[in-house]
């Protein structure tokens, strides 16, 4: 699975120097950042220019797509060729899929001005039934120059996994005739007046595939001996290659990057390279001290780039030292955090009480075998067992935690790379150790208190029944004594805790009385990081509401529109009725809390309190905290005066603690927002002209709307015409 990154069209200050787990792309920015593969590019280029067939293969995650996109495409164009990357995909016959890919590649080539036209124009009315004839008569023009087509069949292993035997054999047979160059029987095309010569079409075919499927290609050797001769294996990066891949992107100048250029000190570079070489061996890969896995290198370098981005904005060129890296333990944590952050990111997109637990079970037990190896799992089995939606699986693929392998009849999934096995197993091991320690700590205490807690177990067995009774009782005085209630007023926030002494009617519960003086709207919030809260609320008029899932899927909230003065009775408990821990109870003096979508309204934004003033060409480092809560959202607002000089304002927001969400409102009330730019789509960036006089307002919040943590806000101006 190849993931695209929008480097060529991204906003200023939002492009990463290290693409992380995404592939380098065929654009000027990524080509300028692609280092360390010079020898591979040269050798592969010479093969492609000299041979009719080249087979490029490697293990998953080594960088075949990056090598083709950022290393091979432009040199081929500079030598009079037009490379067309095509992928045989599921859902259509292989020949139809090839035809669609050729048409898309030619249309993209015209749009990028790599070519001017093709003859005939693509797509054709029907897929070509003879590739030899098609390429014999197919012309690609750049001005007066006729370009040589280079057909790059990427992820060719999918031909063996997603295609039926009949369609697969049809394409393979056509490719063999095309590569061998022999004129096949019936080599003619309707509308071609002159008889075609026997000379082979001037075309080169490049097959790119994963190493483990090479045997299936070798089965064609009797019909196509070239598959055994013109092969190029892409291996891990050597130490010298890895050094260039780390150092050189940091030195590239450009306003599009999220950091200024920076340097690596030798001790920092040696620390990273030594760690990556050891990590390669730990992952069960061939023991070569000089080899470095690109997958791991990109994760570590992306972490270092984040350290530079979170700096103090000093104009002095940053130098990364071994102290900045933090040693092998810190680097190990980077790889570990990729797994944990991936789970958190999916949890934010797909909230649910047990979502993270299900994701852990899926990754740690389903996708890893008992022998500690990656395991393929059918999509139908995954959806039956874990109830994961196609959208959730697609998100796991997008963030490169897993990869999708389409096959005939079903899709299969596995971990994206062998490197992930060790961090995932380490996470599982630590969690199992914590559970084991807890159990051993409880054994002596349980034996000592076995007799004394007999009554406790009897009561807890009745908790579910008692909790349902609380939800349905018309009068609570008989259930929770009035003396146990504490008074509240609209606007109050109280910190409290459910403990062993809060048992009432077989449930751990605290009772509160909310007094209102007249007609009013209120929202009752109960939040806890230690248990799953549940609110039971009743008015004197007989209105009763029960809630255990607030807007973020864990906390609880109930909105009430009260018509007259009186008392609202509130029970604070847990979803199970027997959990204990600290919680916060907050009474907002309005009916409903806002969601992130409400920030599109200028009238809502106008009511947000102003945090302070913002300055152009400056960096603001701030923190979203509890004191920044406004009607259920946690956000800050900054004012930027404008003289309407027509310059362009660039606003960039980033955070290592939450998924950033940025909103800007113009003096006239126009609203713009962004949440998917910069760091793995966790940053935010906006650019627009300052063409209105008055105050622009910049709002800083999170994608979830209620996250807290540190952030970095940068506002820069650019004069018209620069």
Domain ranges of the chain: 37-185+197-233, 239-325, 482-589, 596-719
pLDDT of residue 458: 47
Task: Compare 227 and 7 and report the one with higher pLDDT.
Answer: 227
CA neighbor of 220 nearest in space, from 181, 172, 184: 172
Q: What share of the chain is helix, strand, coil (3-state, %, to 5)?
A: 35, 25, 35
* Residue 295 confidence (pLDDT): 82
**Lowest-confidence pick of 138-147, 170-179, 184-193, 522-531:** 184-193
- Using the predicted structure, report yes or no on whether residue 644 has a pLDDT greater than 90: no
Q: Does domain 596-719 have CATH number 1.20.1440.230?
A: no
* Residues 123 and 98 sit within 8 Å (Cβ to Cβ): no
Nearest CA to 598 out of 655, 663, 540, 692 is that of 663
Check residue 271 and give its pLDDT: 92
Instruction: Give how far Cα 175 sits from Cα of 90, 178, 471, Å.
Output: 19, 5, 71
pLDDT > 90: percent of the chain: 25
Q: Which residues of 576-588 are buried (b: 16+ CB within 10 A; e: fewer)?
A: bbbbeeebbbbbb
Bridge pairing between strands 618-624 and 612-613: unpaired
Q: Is the pLDDT of residue 434 over 90?
A: no
Which DSSP letter does residue 681 get?
Answer: G
**Beta carbons within 8 Å of 118's beta carbon, 6+ residues apart:** 106, 138, 139, 140, 141
pLDDT category, 283, cuts 50, 70, 90? very low
Selection from 511, 498, 504, 497 nearest residue 467 by Cα? 504
SS3 track for 7-34: CCCCCCCCECCCCCCCCCCCCHHHHCCC
Matching residue, tokens 């079970």: 361
Query: Facing residues of 256 across strands?
Result: none
Does position 2 have pLDDT exceeding 50, yes or no? Answer: no
**Mean of per-residue pLDDT scores for the chain:** 82
| Segment holding 99, helix H or strand E | helix 94-111
Q: Looking at per-residue confidence, does 399 or 436 come out higher?
A: 399
Q: Which range, of 46-60, 88-102, 438-452, averages the lowest pLDDT?
A: 438-452
pLDDT band at 629 (very low <50, low <70, confident <90, very high): confident
**Fold classified for 37-185+197-233:** Rossmann fold (3.40.50)
Contact between residue 320 and residue 262 where contact means Cβ atoms under 8 Å apart? yes
Q: How confident is the model at residue 643 (pLDDT cuts 50, 70, 90)?
A: confident
How would you classify the pairing of strands 410-415 and 402-407?
Answer: antiparallel
- Per the listing, tokens 């003086």 go with 517
Dihedral Cα 174, 178, 181, 183, nearest 10 deg = 50
Express each pLDDT in 474-505 by its tens digit: 555 455 655 455 688 888 888 888 886 777 66
pLDDT tens-place string over residues 578-616: 888 888 888 887 765 677 777 888 878 888 889 888 888
User: Would you state the pLDDT for residue 463?
Assistant: 57
Q: What is the pLDDT of residue 467?
A: 63
Rounded distance between C-alpha atoms, residue 418 and residue 402, angstroms: 11
| Angle in degrees, 0-180, between the axes of helices 327-349 and 390-398, rounded to the nearest 10 | 150
Please state, in angstroms and as integers, the Cα–Cα distance from residue 145 to each residue in 77, 135, 139, 621, following that order: 12, 17, 10, 55
Residue 143 has pLDDT above 90, yes or no: yes
**407 strand-pairing partners:** 410
**Digit-coded pLDDT (tens) for 264-273:** 999 999 999 9
Does 431 have pLDDT greater than 90?
no
Q: Which residue has the higher pLDDT, 589 or 31?
A: 31
pLDDT band of 91, cuts 50, 70, 90: low
The whole-number pLDDT of residue 471 equals: 60
Confidence of residue 148 (pLDDT cuts 50, 70, 90): very high
The string of DSSP letters for 184-220 reads PTT---TT--SPPPSSPPS-EEEEEEEGGGHHHHHTT
Q: What average pLDDT does this structure show over 171-181? A: 90
Alpha-carbon separation of residue 268 from 194, 258, 272, 301, 306 (angstroms): 67, 21, 6, 11, 15
Q: Mean pLDDT over residues 199-212, rounded?
A: 92
Under 8 Å between Cβ of 86 and 123: no
Split at pLDDT 50, 70, 90, the class of 216 is confident
Instruction: Specify the DSSP class assigned to residue 480.
Output: S
CA 206 to chain centre: 30
3-class DSSP string for 493-536? EEEEEECHHHEECCEECEEEEEEECCCEEEEEEEECCCCCEEEE
Q: Give the SS3 label for residue 428.
A: helix
Q: Say which residue, 476 or 507, is predicted with more confidence.
A: 507
E strand intervals along 136-180: 139-142, 145-154
Decide if 482-589 and 596-719 have a common fold: yes
- pLDDT band of residue 345 (cuts 50, 70, 90) is confident
Return the SS3 of 421: helix
pLDDT at 237 > cutoff 60: yes
Contact between residue 170 and residue 131 where contact means Cβ atoms under 8 Å apart: no
pLDDT band, residue 617 (cuts 50/70/90): confident
E strand intervals along 618-706? 618-624, 629-630, 633-634, 636-643, 648-654, 660-665, 671-674, 684-689, 693-702
What pLDDT score was predicted for residue 722? 40
Q: How far apart are the first and last CA of the chain?
A: 39
Half-sphere exposure of 131 (CA within 13 A, CB side): 25
Mean pLDDT of 217-239: 87
pLDDT of residue 255 exceeding 70, the answer is: yes
Look-up of token digits 């009774």: 469
Output 688 or 503, whichever has higher pLDDT. 688
Taking the CA atoms of residue 492, residue 493, residue 497 and residue 498 in that order, the dihedral angle to the nearest 10 degrees is: 60
Q: What is the model's pLDDT at position 535?
A: 87
Q: What pLDDT, on the 0 to 100 scale, is given for residue 663?
A: 92
The DSSP letter of residue 6 is: -
Kindly give, in sequence order, each residue whose CB lies less than 8 Å from that of residue 465, ignoring residues fewer than 6 positions away. 506
Question: How many Å apart are CA 388 and CA 382, to the nearest integer?
Answer: 7
pLDDT of residue 552: 47
- Looking at residue 476, its pLDDT comes to 54
Q: Which residue has the tokens 């980033």?
A: 654
At the topology level, CATH places domain 482-589 in: Jelly Rolls (2.60.120)
- Are the CB atoms for 20 and 249 separated by under 8 Å? no
**Residue where the block lists tokens 């996994």:** 161
Instruction: State the Cα–Cα distance between residues 274 and 280, nearest whole angstrom.
Output: 10
Residue 701 pLDDT grade (very low, low, confident, very high; cuts 50, 70, 90): very high
pLDDT at 678: 57
Sign for the CA dihedral angle at 49, 55, 57, 63 comes to positive
Which spans in 521-650 are helix H?
Answer: 602-606
454 is written with which tokens? 């007999």
- What one-character DSSP code corresponds to residue 66? H
Predicted confidence (pLDDT) per residue in 312-334, tens digit: 556 678 899 999 888 888 888 88
477 or 713: which leads in pLDDT:
713
More confident residue, 205 or 436: 205
pLDDT per residue over 533-550, tens digit each? 888 888 877 777 777 665
pLDDT at 3 over 50: no
List the single range of 13-22, 483-492, 682-691 with lowest mean pLDDT. 483-492
């Amino acid at each position: 699975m190849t993931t695209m990154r929008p480097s060529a069209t991204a906003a200023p200050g939002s492009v990463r120097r290290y693409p992380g787990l995404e592939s380098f792309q065929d654009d000027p920015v990524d080509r300028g950042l692609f280092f360390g593969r010079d020898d591979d590019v040269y050798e592969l280029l010479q093969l492609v220019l000299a041979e009719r067939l080249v087979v490029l293969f490697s293990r998953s995650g080594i960088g075949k797509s990056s090598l083709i996109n950022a290393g091979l495409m432009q040199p081929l164009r500079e030598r009079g060729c037009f490379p067309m990357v095509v992928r045989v995909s599921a859902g259509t016959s292989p020949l139809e899929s090839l035809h669609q890919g050729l048409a898309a590649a030619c249309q993209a080539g015209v749009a990028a001005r790599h070519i001017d036209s093709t003859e005939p124009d693509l797509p054709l009315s029907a897929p070509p039934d003879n590739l030899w004839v098609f390429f014999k008569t197919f012309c690609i023009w750049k001005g007066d120059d006729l370009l040589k087509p280079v057909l790059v069949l990427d992820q060719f292993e999918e031909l063996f996994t997603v295609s039926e035997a009949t369609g697969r054999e049809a394409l393979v047979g056509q490719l063999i005739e095309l590569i061998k160059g022999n004129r096949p029987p019936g080599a003619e095309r309707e509308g071609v007046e002159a008889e075609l010569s026997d000379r082979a079409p001037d075309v080169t075919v490049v097959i790119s595939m994963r190493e483990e499927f090479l045997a299936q290609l070798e089965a064609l050797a009797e019909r196509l001996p070239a598959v055994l001769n013109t092969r190029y294996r892409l291996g891990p990066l050597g130490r010298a290659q890895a050094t260039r891949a780390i150092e050189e992107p940091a030195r590239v100048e450009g306003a599009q990057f999220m950091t200024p250029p920076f340097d690596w000190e030798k001790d920092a570079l040696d620390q990273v390279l030594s760690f990556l070489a050891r990590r390669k061996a730990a992952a069960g890969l061939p023991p070569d001290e000089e080899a470095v896995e690109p997958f791991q290198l990109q994760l570590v370098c992306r972490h270092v780039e984040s350290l530079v981005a979170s700096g103090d904005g000093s104009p002095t060129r940053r130098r990364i030292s071994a102290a900045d890296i933090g040693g092998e333990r810190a680097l190990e944590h980077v790889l570990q955090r990729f797994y944990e952050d991936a789970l958190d990111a999916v949890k934010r997109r797909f909230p649910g009480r047990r979502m993270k637990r299900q994701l852990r079970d899926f990754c740690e037990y389903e996708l890893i075998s008992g022998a500690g190896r990656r395991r393929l799992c059918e999509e139908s089995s995954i959806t039956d067992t874990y109830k994961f939606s196609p959208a959730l699986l697609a998100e796991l693929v997008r963030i490169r935690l897993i990869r999708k392998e389409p096959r005939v009849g079903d899709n299969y999934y596995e971990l994206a790379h062998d490197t992930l096995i060790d961090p995932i197993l380490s996470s599982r091991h630590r969690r199992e150790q914590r559970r084991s320690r807890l159990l051993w700590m409880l054994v002596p205490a349980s034996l000592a208190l076995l007799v004394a807690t007999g009554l406790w177990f009897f009561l807890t067995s009745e908790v579910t029944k008692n909790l349902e009774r609380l939800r349905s009782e018309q009068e609570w005085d008989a259930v929770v004594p009035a003396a146990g209630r504490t008074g509240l007023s609209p606007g109050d926030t109280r910190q409290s805790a459910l403990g062993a002494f809060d048992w009432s009617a077989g449930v751990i519960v605290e009772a509160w009385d909310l007094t209102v003086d007249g007609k009013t709207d209120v929202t009752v919030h109960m939040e806890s990081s230690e248990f799953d809260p549940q609110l039971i609320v009743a008015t004197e008029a007989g209105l009763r509401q029960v809630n255990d899932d607030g807007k973020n899927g864990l906390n609880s909230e109930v909105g009430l529109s009260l018509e007259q003065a009186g008392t609202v009775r509130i029970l604070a408990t847990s979803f199970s009725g027997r959990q204990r821990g600290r919680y916060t109870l907050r009474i907002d003096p309005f009916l409903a809390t806002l969601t992130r979508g409400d920030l599109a309204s200028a009238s809502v934004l106008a009511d947000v309190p102003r945090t302070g003033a913002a300055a152009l060409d400056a960096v603001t480092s701030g923190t979203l905290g509890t004191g920044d809560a406004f009607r259920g959202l946690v956000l800050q607002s900054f004012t930027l005066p404008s003289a309407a000089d027509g310059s362009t304002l660039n606003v960039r927001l980033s955070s290592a603690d939450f998924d950033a969400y940025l909103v800007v409102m113009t003096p006239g009330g126009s609203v713009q927002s962004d949440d998917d730019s910069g760091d793995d789509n966790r940053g935010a960036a906006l650019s627009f002209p300052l063409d209105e006089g008055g105050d622009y307002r910049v709002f800083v919040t999170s994608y979830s709307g209620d996250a807290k943590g540190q952030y970095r806000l940068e506002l820069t101006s650019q004069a018209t015409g620069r």
